[in-house]
Amino acid sequence: MKEVISTTKGTVVSKTVDMKKDGYRFVTMSCVELDADTVDILYHFDRDLHLKHLRLTIQKKEAVPSVSLVYFAAFLVENEIQDQFGIRFDGLVLDYERTLYLEKEAPDAPYCRISVSRDVKSGED
């Protein structure tokens, strides 16, 4: 990723507003589990084929402010992250409450605790 800008829960919405004012379109978001307690949420934006990304590192138990009031389409991926990683988003314009993709009986955060390791001896993944 060429340009990654760190953000916090307190600034993610205002930085997203700045991206919109600067003419960037919202592409999507990604969520990556860093360890048992922490995730990175990456917000991806594009303007004239130039990508910029916001990186928010949070504890899994923390709620994240929704950016769906800035970019309406964000509600879909925020609901997906709620379903798959168990991260809560405050202020979603449309909150499926963990039922966008999952049934109510589905396990909590099915995408968490997945790790990839590298065999150092053989150099293979």
- Domain boundaries of the chain, sorted by first residue: 4-90
In CATH terms, the fold of domain 4-90 is Beta Polymerase; domain 2 (3.30.460)
Q: Where does the pLDDT of residue 94 fall: very low under 50, low under 70, confident under 90, or very high at 90 and above?
A: confident
Q: Tens digits of per-residue pLDDT, 68-92?
A: 999 999 999 999 999 888 899 999 9
Q: Is pLDDT of 108 > 70?
A: no
Q: What is the pLDDT of residue 84?
A: 86
> CA–CA distance from 34 to each of 39, 112, 114 (Å)?
5, 10, 10
For 100-109, what is the mean pLDDT?
A: 62
Q: Which two tokens stand for residue 89?
A: 């988003």
Residue 119, exposed/middle/buried by CB under 10 A (0-12, 13-18, 19+)?
Answer: exposed
pLDDT of 113 reads: 61
Q: What's the whole-number average pLDDT of the chain?
A: 85
- Residue-wise pLDDT for 18-63, tens only, equals 999 999 999 999 999 999 899 999 999 999 999 999 999 999 999 9
Predicted TM-score (pTM) of this structure: 0.81
